[in-house]
Structure 1
Amino acid sequence: MSGFNLRFLGHSTVRLELGDRVVLTDPVLTARVGGLTRVVPPPPPDAYAGVDLVLLSHLHGDHLHVPSLKLVGRRTRIVVPRGAGSWLAKKGFTAVEEIAPGETLTEGGLTITATEAIHSGHRWGPRLTHGPQSPAIGHLIDSEGLRVYNAGDTDLFDGMATFGPVDVALLPVWGWGPNLGPGHLNPARAAEAAGLLQARAVVPVHWGTLALPGIRRTTRMRRLLADPPREFAAHVAAAKIATGVLFTEPGADVVLPASTDRA
């Protein structure tokens, strides 16, 4: 194995380098995402260069973002939840594959297994019935005895206990607005998830990146753009969960502890 490196690019976007492959999760790379504004600089092109595999967890616009996928490349291998492939292929992407919970695929030395996720899978939200829909998923990424869990968007569920132990979990700890709807983890529930997963380390994601322009400078929103990973770490410590919290600002490399740094 040539190395294991992680870079948190913001929101749910993480660049993973492992097993001689580069994997990108839910790429959101632009200054605007629909009606949301990016509150940190967009990642530079080198951050999403040389990607072998894109893993998409669900169809919401802050996870499946077509302009960002175009930046990665229309010929890049993209894995979507089962039922979403034809919709994305019609956008001009030529290497789209589908996967459902329990199914696996390989990419070089990596094995990727789709997992259950408790979250709306409709492109336009849980209240609408028209338009594309497919179940939200997470991913287990295995390479030479190392396991990474990419949660995507999900609420807590008992089945997480069957995924562990994992070396690193990418766990959402908030979102982009002043409140969380159903199917999300807040800092306290993310800490419970870390315990269920027996995660040796957690990278808090899904925070500090996107906001509604009209409220981004309010006192509450400024706090919500900064505090969730710190609150997550406090809940982990209070519950005496044996998980290292790899707190990383959007755009930065994740500093891996010696026990998980295989480079």
Structure 2
Amino acid sequence: MGSPELRWLGHSTVRVELAGSTVLTDPVLTRSVGPLRRVAPPPPPAAWAGVDLVLVSHLHGDHLHLPSLRLLGDGVRVVVPRGAGAWLRSRGQRWVDELAPGESLVHGGLRVTAVPAVHSGHRWGPRLTHGPVTAAAGHLVEGDGTTVYACGDTDLFDGMTGLGERGVDVALVPVWGWGPTLGPGHLDPHRAAEAVARVRPRVAVPVHWGTLTVLGGTALPGLAGRYRRLLSEPPRQFAAEVAARALPTTVVVPELGHPVVLPTAAGAP
């Protein structure tokens, strides 16, 4: 079994090197995303150098971020939910493929399969109704005998158990968001642990936390303390919840911008 090389670049952006390809999930690479600001410097260009495949889980601006996609250049293949291709091409992206849940494509030594997610797929939703809308998705990335599950944004759904039966080595699991509360279609640390109980990956890496806040959020009277706690606590609460369930999964809390050190599989040399 090959071992993927992972690097968390913030929010849901993870660099995955596997089977000769370099994948980036939901790239957010700049200092700001609309009204949101990063709490740490953006990743340097070296962090996304060599990326040849991008997986976009849904159309929200903190997952499909046009300025970040443009930083990657024209030679990158971008996979979006089915129905979003024409909209993205009209904004200058040249190599775009669409996948609906259940559909797959091959990229070099990788096979990428879109899987369901329970989350608003509207560009401006769920409250605004203009602009493109598609079904949100997660992705299974398979290569060299290894499967990485990038959950995207999702709530719990019954099919998670079926995904686990396929065998998942590493799951990139969202455990929070960017505000003091969560809207529908998200996992908090407790529900993220339940997702792990259903999927049962060998390793879980918590993402979608600790990166973005509303401008000035950490200084708002009455909210500043909660904001600051939510920048660091969710992945540790998630790890504690997984441990309390005695699940056969190792949680590795990533350090921003650094390689994710994955445990060696049982029986491996």
Same fold, judged at TM 0.5 (above) = yes
Q: Is the 8 A contact 1:2 1:20 kept in 2?
A: no
Structure 2: runs of 5 or more not aligned? none
Give the partner amino acid of 2:188: N
Between the aligned partners of 2:75 and 2:123, the Cα distance in structure 1 is 22
Between the aligned partners of 1:163 and 1:2, the Cα distance in structure 2 is 20
Between the aligned partners of 1:140 and 1:153, the Cα distance in structure 2 is 14
> Offset of 1:3 from its aligned partner?
5.5
Between the aligned partners of 2:264 and 2:91, the Cα distance in structure 1 is 42
> Offset of 1:258 from its aligned partner?
1.2
Give the partner amino acid of 2:30: T
Give the partner amino acid of 2:91: K
> Offset of 1:4 from its aligned partner?
2.1
Give the structure 1 partner of residue 61 of structure 2: 61
Q: Is the 8 A contact 1:162 1:197 kept in 2?
A: yes
Query: For structure 1, which segment, 242-251 or 4-13, has the greater mean C-alpha deviation from structure 2 after superposition?
Result: 242-251
What's the % identity of the aligned pairs? Answer: 62
Give the structure 2 partner of residue 163 of structure 1: 163
Give the partner amino acid of 1:130: H
> Offset of 1:214 from its aligned partner?
2.3
Q: Is the 8 A contact 2:172 2:206 kept in 1?
A: yes
Give the root-mean-square deviation of aligned CA atoms. 1.6
The count of corresponding residues between Structure 1 and Structure 2 is: 263
Q: Is the 8 A contact 1:106 1:112 kept in 2?
A: yes
Q: What does residue range 29-40 of structure 1 map to in structure 2 within 5 Å?
A: 29-40=29-40
Query: For structure 1, which segment, 248-257 or 58-67, has the greater mean C-alpha deviation from structure 2 after superposition?
Result: 248-257
Give the structure 2 partner of residue 119 of structure 1: 119
Give the structure 2 partner of residue 206 of structure 1: 208
Give the partner amino acid of 1:125: G
> Offset of 1:2 from its aligned partner?
7.4
Q: What does residue range 1-263 of structure 1 map to in structure 2 within 5 Å?
A: 4-164=4-164, 165-217=167-219, 218-259=224-265
- C-alpha change, 1:231 and 1:123, in structure 2 (3 Å) is same
> Offset of 1:212 from its aligned partner?
0.6
> Offset of 1:80 from its aligned partner?
0.2
Structure 1: runs of 5 or more not aligned? none
> Offset of 1:52 from its aligned partner?
1.1
